[in-house]
Amino acid sequence: MRLLDYIKGLKVPLYFTSIGTVLLGWALTGFQAKAIVILILLVVVSMQAALNTSMDYFDNLNGRKLRNDDTLFPLGSFFVEKLRVNPRHLLIAFIVLTIIAVSLGLIVVFITRNLWLLVLGLTAVFLSLLYVLPPVRLGSRGVGEIATFFSFGPFPLLGTIIALGKEVTFQTVLISITMGLLASSIRFLHHSPEDKIGGFRQTNFLAIYVSFTFIGLAAALFVRGLLIPSLVSIFVALVQVYYLPSDNLRASRRTNGAVTIQLLFTLLALLFIYI
């Protein structure tokens, strides 16, 4: 099994979606308390890995077709269909990784002695589980972007700020909205082939994707010091949308473009906050 196969199966390129949000929260507090930030990063990465393995497991269980397996962003059960991994092993990995994420989160709460952080963390875990676990499975009911928005935007960014003992402000809320909507745009484009044929999401996929992307970046325009990162990212997004295929099946193969926009904005924002 090649390293690239593991990268595809675990959807490693998508991990910066959560990592970058935590790093922005850290930057907004003045890059303090590195030990706690490392713990928070381990929490979000292990939880994201848990969700990715669970999606592989349930995709196989529900007979969901493997698509885009020649890209870095496959859909369906890549581990089972392509790599012949035992589905039971995926289920065990999901449980173990979830336990690790929750345990590390509780350590952060114990260190900070902040009950609000406990409430926020438990809500984040609960929402993440609702995304993948039956019978709810938000990710399969056309509302997966709602869970994605909170799990990759407000929860990790504001949670990081609270854990570091800083105050949540309107500016930080705006940045969390930006990160949440950019994550939702990635999720929407990536999973668009799974939408109902002829349904609202499929027939309007371009308008929905554009809304997530540009409303998210527009929110950051009102954050002090982030005008240039926002404008540069908006320009790149305009180019990406211009060359995006008109049907969602081919467009989903360009998920790397949405990931690049989120990565670009995050790195530029970190740079401008630092300087």
**Residue 137 backbone zone (phi > 0: left; psi -120 to 50: alpha; other: beta):** left
Domain interval for residue 103: 3-274
The answer to whether residue 200 scores a pLDDT higher than 70 is: yes
Phi-psi region of 53 (alpha: psi -120 to 50; beta: other; left: phi over 0): alpha
Dist. CA 55–CA 262, nearest whole Å: 22
| 204-228 per-position pLDDT tens digit | 889 999 999 999 999 999 999 999 9
- For residues 64-93, average pLDDT: 86
**Measured between alpha carbons, how far is 11 from 34 in angstroms, rounded to an integer?**
26
- CA-CA distance, 131 to 263, in Å (whole number)? 24
Q: What is the pLDDT of residue 103?
A: 95
Q: How far apart are the first and last CA of the chain?
A: 43
Report field, pTM of the whole predicted structure over 0.85: yes
pLDDT at 141 (0 to 100) = 65
Half-sphere exposure of 58 (CA within 13 A, CB side): 19
State the total domains in the chain. Answer: 1
Residue 197: predicted pLDDT: 80
Strand partners, 75: 67
